[in-house]
Amino acid sequence: MEIEEAYQVVGEFGHYQKRAVAVLILIQVYMAGQSMLIVLVGAAPQYHLDQDVSRFSSHQELSQHVTFTEDVDSIVTEWFLIQQQAYKVSLAGSLFFAGVLVGNIVFGPLSDRIGRKPIFLTALFLEVIFGYVTALAPTYELFAFSRLLVGLMNGGIGLVCFVLTQEYVGKSYWAMTGTLSNMTFAVGIALFGALGYYIRPWRHLATAANSPGVLFFLLCVTLPESPRWLYSQGRTEKAEEVLRYVALRNGNPVGNLTLRRVCKAGRDGEGSGVMRLVTHPVLRWRTVVLMYIWYACSLVYYGLTLGASETSGSRYVNVAMYGLVELPAYPVCMYFINKPWAGRKKSTASFLCLAGISCFCTIFFPEKTGVLLNATSLALLGKLMVSAAFNIVYVYTSELYPTVIRNAGLGVCSMSCRVGGILAPFVPSMRAIHSSMPFTVFCVSGLTAGGLSFLLPETLNAPAAETLDQLHSAPCGRVIHSKVRLYEDDQSKLNRK
């Protein structure tokens, strides 16, 4: 039987799979804390200098003449990262996301080649270690370097963890598990804001935010390898063994479960890796379109986040709101992507276009007014729409790539996503050209990405491709090759005549 038929026998989302997926989803809370750590540990309080800072030639001299007027414990107050040294806080944050970028590129192809579980556990273990280095760092230089390493591991964990939540269950549950992963990340941001409110010393906060990783690592050690990955690699007997184990733990033991034998990925030049995304005609076009969509989602999402966060008040409340504002997007997109009249493609395109239109409409409304409809509310509506699109894109992308190259595809798309996140802070500075320029950029990005989404095939209720050979025959590959096949069928009929 095929792998998808085996899930029908074993159970698409049984008791054991629910527990395994729950652990993987809850890891998103830990990852969110690591991603948002610099926001609170790098908090810059108000301060007073009794002399001109240019006179100070050393860190010790500066510390004797600066007085912080707020009761804040952060890397700023410990290492006096003010004035000419203030850039170091942003640098540490940039190093984290640079690490995430590299982690997406490196760990995706590695997990496709070596396996999901060993790469995932290695990255999780090292992230916990480097997280404690962050909390105990005696100097800024070691702190910044540890953030780079934590980001590197975080990028790998996020990618492989998301894929595992998909591959442990039947395809009909992919949208749900993918959405829950993204929703839990948003909840994790809110919880981190609450944690920072109660734990103020930055070293204690870094330790508390990192410690759940130890528990998650111990829980994940017992998880099995992805049966889909084993099957795609030609390790059919091992895949059958894992499926029987899952069936037993689901309370649905199966005695005779035999999968159809497939050739190991990599034979006859099929291979897995980033190069297949370039050389394979279907994957090449698909990857180019998806990379732009991921880039646009990230640019609009983070750009709007920076714009919406320009409010006064408690920094802890603001951090929590960054997460909570996303939550309504997830049930909305879950509803639409499972409807035949909407599906993945139309939902992605619609939410991106609505995000672009919302940004465009902000040009015609004042930023602050007493009425409900204003630039701020429209910007938040745009963020809601792009959050929904971002969530769908994760699920949609995993369905568009075969198992043998799924992590590599997600890794390349995530790389493009990080580029959008890096560029997003520079967009608000375009106000110097014209006040409407930032929202014009967001509008154009959302509309163009939404339009390109229509070039991708629909994957709703379509069987997932396991190998590159199946990609040509899978429904999600028919859009690109339909004309070629029709021509070949006509030629075959003519030859028979």
Model pLDDT, residue 442:
92
Residues 29 and 171 placed together within one structural domain of the fold: yes
Banded pLDDT at 370 (limits 50, 70, 90): low
Host H or E run for residue 48: strand 47-49
pLDDT over 50 (residue 270) = no
Q: Tell whether the torsion through CA atoms of 124, 125, 131 and 137 is positive or negative.
A: negative
Residues 307 and 388 placed together within one structural domain of the fold: yes
Most confident of 10-19, 329-338, 446-455, 466-475: 446-455
Based on DSSP, count helices (H) and strands (E) in the chain, helices before strands.
22, 2
Residues 256 and 307 placed together within one structural domain of the fold: no
Residue with tokens 């580029």: 419
Residue with tokens 């034979």: 267
Q: What is the pLDDT of residues 389-434, one digit of tens each?
A: 988 898 889 888 887 787 778 778 888 887 887 777 677 667 767 7
Model pLDDT, residue 23:
93
Banded pLDDT at 153 (limits 50, 70, 90): very high
Distances (CA, A) of 190 to 250, 324, 328: 33, 6, 14
Most confident of 25-34, 312-321, 367-376: 25-34
CA angle 131, 135, 141 (to 5 degrees): 90
Most confident of 68-72, 221-225, 241-245, 307-311: 221-225
Banded pLDDT at 493 (limits 50, 70, 90): very low
Q: What percent of the chain has pLDDT over 90?
A: 22
Residues 206 and 330 placed together within one structural domain of the fold: no
- 8 A C-beta contact, residue 399 and residue 299: no
Average pLDDT over residues 161-186: 84
494 within a domain of the structure (yes/no): no
Q: What is the pLDDT of residues 191-204, one digit of tens each?
A: 988 898 898 899 99
Residues 234 and 304 placed together within one structural domain of the fold: no
451 within a domain of the structure (yes/no): yes
56 within a domain of the structure (yes/no): no
Residues 224 and 309 placed together within one structural domain of the fold: no
489 within a domain of the structure (yes/no): no
115 within a domain of the structure (yes/no): yes
Banded pLDDT at 61 (limits 50, 70, 90): low
**Angle 202-210/174-198 helices, nearest 10 degrees?**
150
Question: In DSSP terms, which residues pair with 218 in a beta bridge?
Answer: none
57 within a domain of the structure (yes/no): no
Residue range of the domain that includes 329: 273-314+322-479
Most confident of 64-68, 71-75, 144-148, 247-251: 144-148
Residues 233 and 369 placed together within one structural domain of the fold: no
For the record, the structure tokens of 221 come out as: 């050690």
* Residue of 266 and 58 predicted with greater confidence: 58
Residues 188 and 241 placed together within one structural domain of the fold: yes
pLDDT over 90 (residue 143) = yes
Average pLDDT, rounded, for the chain: 80
Contacts of 136 (CB under 8 A, 6+ apart): 203
DSSP string, 355-378: HHHHHHHGGGS-SS-SSSSSHHHH
Banded pLDDT at 347 (limits 50, 70, 90): very high
CATH number, domain of 234, equals 1.20.1250.20
Q: How many domains does the chain have?
A: 2
Residues 147 and 277 placed together within one structural domain of the fold: no
User: Of how many residues is the chain composed?
Assistant: 497
Residues 213 and 283 placed together within one structural domain of the fold: no
Average pLDDT over residues 64-86: 75
- 8 A C-beta contact, residue 250 and residue 243: no
Host H or E run for residue 213: helix 212-220
CA angle 247, 396, 280 (to 5 degrees): 100
219 within a domain of the structure (yes/no): yes
496 within a domain of the structure (yes/no): no
Residues 354 and 292 placed together within one structural domain of the fold: yes
Residues 236 and 335 placed together within one structural domain of the fold: no
Least confident of 174-178, 215-219, 337-341: 174-178
Tell me, yes or no, if the pTM score tops 0.85.
no
